Amino acid sequence: MVALIMVSIMALMLAKPGYRKMQKIKVYNRKIASLTILGTFAALILSLIEPLMGWVLVLCACSFCITLYKSIAYSSPLKNSVLNLLALLCISILIWLAADYGLLNTMINLLVVACCLKILNLHHTGDYQMVASIQLFLVACGLIFHQSLLNSLFYAFLIILIFCVLHAIKIKETGLKTYSKHTVILLLQAIPVAALLFFVTPKLSPLWQMPVNQSNKTGLSEKMTPGDIAHLAKSDELVFRAEFTGPLPSPQQRYWRAIVLDEFDGKSWSISNTNKSFDGPQMIEFKGQALDYVVIAQPTSTKWLYSLDIPILIQGLSMQTILTNQQFQLTGRTPLYTQGLYAVKSFVEQPLNIYKGYENLSQYLQIPSSGNPETVEFVSENINTSMTTQEKIDKLKATFSYGDFRYTLSPPLMQSAPIDEFLFEKKAGFCSHYASALTYMLRLANVPARIVTGYQGGEVQSGNVISVHQFDAHAWVEAWEDDKGWMRIDPTAIVAPNRVLSGLLSMVQNRQEFRQQSPFSLTNLKEYAVFNQLRLLMANIDHTWDQSILSYNQERQKSLLKKIFGNMKAESFSYALIGSFVIIGLFISLLFIPKRKAKGSDEMEWIDKLFQLFEKQKLSRIENETLQQFSQRIQPQLTPQASNALGFIVKEYYEWKYTGLQQPAPFKILKNRLYKHIVMVQSQFTNK
Amino acid sequence: MKSWTQARVDRWLDKRIPSSHSYQLDVNNTFILPTRFGWAIVGLMSCLFILGTNYQNNVILMFCYFVFSLLLLALFHSYVSFVQFHIVFRPVANCFSNQYAQLQLDLSHKKNRSALHSLSNIAIFSKRYPVYEYLEDGSNIIAISPFSRGLHHLGRVSIESIFPFGLFRCWSHLTVPGQFFVFPAPIPCGLQLRKQNSKGNTGNKSGVAVTSDDLQGIRDYRDSDPIHHVSWKHFAKGQGLFSKDFSERSAISGWLHFSDYFNHNVEQALSEVTFQILALSKQDANFGFSIGKQQIMPNTGIPHQQQCLEAIALYRYKQHALTLDENGNGRINNGINNGIDVSQTGLS
């Protein structure tokens, strides 16, 4: 498909505007139209700045300036041959670079280049229309990357502007206000139909695999060098939200597992290649209460998903299957390229010993053959083989309690022997330093241990939702103790207990560091109660958006339709579809029906009614007869009282109509005055 | 083959939209299809659907459905704004071949048209003539193109509107009723007038100025009478307009013979004769005109001038095209008009 788009755009770019008629068609409201389209162009480029190449950005800036100048001071069109040559050059560069940048990025770059070049020559209707369609496509590309409520609103605004331009160039010269109002009315009329279609049209599974964006999205990585997670701490990007149906986990239980790292090369931890699947027990019984929750995960660069220990998957993602493995992890087959929703049950009280006896623990004792000599010496001095596992763990944990360690977001560089330097020189670090050092020491002491990275904590919103941000990224240690299984040990909690209980930003010092590094984050406003509430409100709205729109999938569609129409069979589902189309048809015809009927004035209605009154008595009006002529004609047939009353009515009406000077009295007053006379005429009829 | 299908289409159109002076655009004479841009948007919509489905991106899907419903709405608005218009064609005026034929039409719209549709623009164009113009409310004069000498009719012109967003094109092919003459462009030359003679063929070739003082009497004023023949004396007395009737009312009289101007180039000669007729009429001359087998007896005034000019326009003019008389009935006129007294055709 991408190739198809590329070819079609190439064809479009190179097509000579040989459509003679198109050229002749006048463009109205030219100045406003070109300035608006320039504005939407700039906004789109800014929102898509991430996947754009440098030279494309330079091209954008150039074409922006030229077009701005051209739209203010009218100038002659550029030569098409020059533009076509330039287009060919750009396209060949893009195709050349396509392999490095990935298809999706290349496509976006191509669209932007096409828009850049086309915007230079805004002269005919066709030019505007082509630029508008490219921009609409760019909006769609933007929506691949950003789907939050604010971004969606931003793109909706751009769509409105683009359609404003399309409207403006073809209608009579009017004020900006008129046609923007009309455009908005037209677009608003489209929304109910669109919403109905959205909720009713069957949701399909992906038709084929799409190119995935190779962006450098922040997130946990599969290789951790102590200090790595610190850069995540500077980001307040949302990672996922978990909505609980039952009670929330306590702060100490909020360890969101993502990746288990088990191989150490002296500097960094990674996932070993050894096979970690094994035959488990037939039946597993879980102890304790389960927590039920739904996770709405934001797009990420890794395939690892998040859950509390021990997760049982209830409902997977709509676009791919989720795997559970024996390291208690949830993984997708590919990274999440769009928001995903899955439901999990977690047994937080169950010790991680369910695979006891099945697991091969020797791989968790792997250590590099050399390096960090001081640590090796330290462990061999403190630990002897006669100690129990629990004693060894306690002993090594104690290192951090009495060692004057410091928790910091900006740890000093530790190059040659990182663990030695950390433990005995710098004594300052981030969670990954502590986890790394403790795991290494445990392995030296012959205790199977591994590092788990993930997120810890999260912010509670509206009672049952926990939002987890990148700055909640955390690393902790799991050590094997024969009775209890894998035991979670968080060395960071020993050094900075607040980090675990109330989050990273609870510490003043960390807050200052965070502020220095991300000065524009809204999270900085946490201290001010009003702003914090506002921020939480926004987060809530955002969550509702995620829940209702972004995560609307086949399952939800079924349940929604079930709620409305009762139990669904395939048959009744198709009825529902047909029904919805009928509703759409009715809606659209409703827009037009009232306008067909001429709305007569109050006065005309009154006169018609008066004539109808006589018509009932078989005194009908001859065509085009005025009221006066009519009354004179029928007078002989009326009783004296009735004819008097009618005479009065006619006299009053004509006086009101023709002698009223500049501003006649409202018709209502006259109507009320004449009412009793009409009743009089009517009563004479009935008496007869 | 192409002309055959074209003929079929034309016949179908004639049946569907019969020729008329005034057209109310409605469901019977309106066509509607997406424009090129409309098709592009349909393509965009399908791309959006694929993107939205494959990325499981609900916002893009929403965008897709929005575009879809917008297309539906545009279809309706396009039609409704188009059928608000009412078009009245005025008869096309006769003209000279160096002038543009001018189509006059009045555009009006229904009274209860909504404000939303009031901005809709309607344009006129034709497949046959290089015209594309937007119409204003009220009377419009559209210069079509210069025509060659002869009797013409404009045939079908098209009007279109792409009102909301240019997604759909509403159009109609309307026949402009009536025919018009195109006279040769006048070319100045020397006057060659034969003396009035009962035989008409021989005589003095130079123009003879006849003095015209012998007053015969007074008669009612006719529109064709020159202003200097008006009896101002009677007018001043309040008795109305009378003309002094002279025995020879024109200063110049004689026969204008086309053969006197003819040398190789027929069109050049016709242009020169046209000039002479215009000049003689301006001088209020009493002249007869002989062209080919056709003779127009001496007379004065605008109708006479018209008759002469029409004879020139139809000289050796073969008309193959479908012509329409004033009642709107089509007939094929294949006759060679040379020699037919035009005044009998009822077209003057």
Domain residue ranges in chain B: 2-177, 193-210+250-344
Alpha carbon separation from A263 to A3, A225, A226, A232, A412 (Å, rounded):
42, 12, 14, 22, 24
B33 touches chain A (CB under 8 A): no
Which stretches of B148-250 are DSSP H helices? 232-236
Determine phi and psi for A601, rounding to 5 degrees: -75, 170
Tell me, what's the pLDDT at A5?
58
pLDDT digits (tens, 9 = 90+) for B260-281: 887 778 888 888 888 888 888 8
pLDDT digits (tens, 9 = 90+) for A484-517: 888 899 888 888 877 776 666 666 556 666 666 6
Using left for φ > 0, alpha for ψ between -120 and 50, and beta otherwise, residue B339 falls in left
Taking the domains of chain A in order of start, what are their residue ranges? 2-169, 229-276+288-529, 602-687
Flag if B68 and A197 touch (Cβ within 8 Å).
yes
Nearest to A170 among B68, B80, B166 (CB): B166
Determine phi and psi for B299, rounding to 5 degrees: -165, 180
Closest by CA to B156, choosing from B278, B10, B315, B310, is B10
pLDDT digits (tens, 9 = 90+) for B206-248: 444 444 445 556 777 776 666 777 777 777 777 777 776 655 5
Which position has the higher pLDDT, A203 or A378? A378
Q: How far apart are the CA of B209 and the nearest CA of chain A, in angstroms?
A: 55
* Confidence bin at A225 (pLDDT 50/70/90): confident
Tell me, what's the pLDDT at A578?
82
Q: Between residues 292 and 331 of chain A, which touch chain B (CB distance below 8 Å)?
A: 318-319
| Both tokens assigned to B202 | 């021989």
Which stretches of A48-124 are DSSP H helices? 54-72, 80-101, 103-119
Q: Is the pLDDT of residue B173 over 80?
A: yes
* Cβ neighbours for A112, distance < 8 A, ≥ 6 positions apart: A45, A48, A52, A56, A60, A138
Tell me, what's the pLDDT at B40?
92
Rounded to the nearest integer, the mean pLDDT of chain B is 78
A24 touches chain B (CB under 8 A): yes
| Enclosing H/E stretch for A662 | none
Q: Which residues of A touch B59 (CB under 8 A)?
A: 143, 147, 152, 155, 549-550
If you measure CA to CA, which chain A residue comes closest to B114?
A595
Which region among A94-108, A184-198, A578-592 has the lowest average model confidence (pLDDT)? A578-592
At residue A278, the 3 state secondary structure works out as: coil
Q: Which residues of A touch B57 (CB under 8 A)?
A: 143-144, 147, 338
Q: Is the pLDDT of residue A406 over 60?
A: yes
Tell me, what's the pLDDT at A41?
93
Q: How far apart are the CA of B170 and the nearest CA of chain A, in angstroms?
A: 14
State if pTM tops 0.90: no
* Cβ neighbours for B170, distance < 8 A, ≥ 6 positions apart: B30, B31, B32, B78, B79, B81, B82, B160, B161, B162, B163
Tell me how far apart the alpha carbons of residues A314 and A304 are, in angstroms, rounded to a whole number: 17
Asked if the bond preceding A314 is cis, omega within 30° of 0, the reply is no
Flag if B57 and A338 touch (Cβ within 8 Å).
yes
Q: How far apart are the CA of A42 and the nearest CA of chain B, in angstroms?
A: 21
Contact call for residues B161 and B123 (beta carbons, < 8 A): yes
Q: Is the pLDDT of residue B204 over 60?
A: no
| Burial bucket for residue B10 (CB in 10 Å: 0-12, 13-18, 19+) | middle
Flag if B69 and A319 touch (Cβ within 8 Å).
no
Alpha carbon separation from A205 to A254, A399, A555, B64 (Å, rounded):
33, 53, 12, 16
Q: How far apart are the CA of B34 and the nearest CA of chain A, in angstroms?
A: 14
Specify the length of chain A in residues: 688
Q: Between residues 90 and 119 of chain B, which touch chain A (CB distance below 8 Å)?
A: 111-112, 114-116, 119
* Confidence bin at A563 (pLDDT 50/70/90): confident
Q: Which residues pair with A323 in a beta bridge?
A: A331
The residue-averaged pLDDT of A544-560 equals: 75
Q: Which residues of B touch A147 (CB under 8 A)?
A: 57-59
Tell me, what's the pLDDT at A44?
93
Q: What is the dihedral of CA A390, A396, A401, A405, to 10 degrees?
A: -150
Instruction: Give the number of other Cβ atoms within 10 Å of residue A11's Cβ.
Output: 9
Flag if A190 and B162 touch (Cβ within 8 Å).
no
Percent of chain A at pLDDT > 70 equals 83
End-to-end Cα, chain A, rounded Å: 84
Tell me, what's the pLDDT at B113?
80
* Interface A:B, Cβ pairs < 8 A: 154
Q: Between residues 624 and 643 of chain A, which touch chain B (CB distance below 8 Å)?
A: none
Q: Which residues of A touch B134 (CB under 8 A)?
A: 26
Tell me, what's the pLDDT at A224?
80
Handedness of CA B26, B28, B29, B30 (dihedral sign): positive
If you measure CA to CA, which chain B residue comes closest to A198?
B62
| Enclosing H/E stretch for B8 | helix B2-16
* Confidence bin at B338 (pLDDT 50/70/90): very low
pLDDT digits (tens, 9 = 90+) for B305-324: 888 888 888 887 765 444 44
At residue A346, the 3 state secondary structure works out as: strand
Instruction: Give the number of other Cβ atoms within 10 Å of residue B12's Cβ.
Output: 10
pLDDT digits (tens, 9 = 90+) for B62-115: 999 999 999 999 998 899 889 889 999 988 888 888 888 888 889 988 877 888
Q: Which residues of B touch A167 (CB under 8 A)?
A: 164-165
A176 touches chain B (CB under 8 A): no
Nearest to A24 among B59, B119, B132 (CB): B132
Q: Is the pLDDT of residue A478 over 60?
A: yes
Measured at the CA of A275, the angle between CA A271 and CA A276, to 5 degrees, comes to: 75
Tell me how far apart the alpha carbons of residues B284 and B279 are, in angstroms, rounded to a whole number: 9
Contact call for residues B250 and B285 (beta carbons, < 8 A): yes
A208 touches chain B (CB under 8 A): yes
Flag if A169 and B41 touch (Cβ within 8 Å).
no
CA atoms within 13 A on the CB side of A223: 5
If you measure CA to CA, which chain A residue comes closest to B65?
A194
Instruction: Give the number of other Cβ atoms within 10 Å of residue A376's Cβ.
Output: 17
If you measure CA to CA, which chain A residue comes closest to B79?
A592
| Enclosing H/E stretch for B169 | strand B168-176
Annotate B13-65 with DSSP letters as a single string: HHHHS---SEEE--TTT-EEEE-HHHHHHHHHHHHHHHHHHHTT-HHHHHHHH
If you measure CA to CA, which chain A residue comes closest to B125?
A21
Rounded to the nearest integer, the mean pLDDT of chain A is 79
A174 touches chain B (CB under 8 A): yes
B317 touches chain A (CB under 8 A): no
pLDDT digits (tens, 9 = 90+) for A110-157: 899 989 888 888 888 888 899 999 999 999 989 888 888 888 999 999
Tell me, what's the pLDDT at A510?
64
Q: Which residues of B touch A319 (CB under 8 A)?
A: 56
Which position has the higher pLDDT, A556 or A377? A377
pLDDT digits (tens, 9 = 90+) for A259-297: 888 888 888 888 888 777 777 777 777 888 888 898 888
Contact call for residues A511 and A519 (beta carbons, < 8 A): no
Annotate A198-252 with DSSP letters as a single string: HHHSPPPPPSSPPPPP-----S--SEE-TTHHHHHTT---EEEEEEESSPPPPGG
